[in-house]
Amino acid sequence: MAILVDTAIWPAHDRFWCHLISDTSVDELHDFARELGIPERGFEGDHYDIPDEYRDQAIAKGAIPVTSREVVTALYASGQRQRPSLRNA
């Protein structure tokens, strides 16, 4: 079980964002996000969108830095990947 975080390269709302995922469990992901103080409104069905200032904190707590491609690959491999139209439904 691992928490993965990609590089904050996605611009929105005057900052850069990255993705935080679990490679095995949405429950594990929610627990990790809660420990970081990330609000649940950042959850996008299979990942959290987190601002760049949380990335270093996530890594310090054990998240593994990966590429965006590795995030998507891990979500598909774990069976957690959701099509955008199904997120937050």
The residue count for the chain: 89
- Whole-model pTM: value is 0.84
**Cα–Cα distance between 80 and 87 in angstroms, integer?**
11
**Cα–Cα distance between 38 and 32 in angstroms, integer?**
9
* pLDDT per residue of the chain (89 residues) written in tens, 0 to 9: 799 999 999 999 999 999 999 998 899 999 999 999 999 998 988 899 999 999 999 999 999 999 999 998 988 887 666 665 554 54
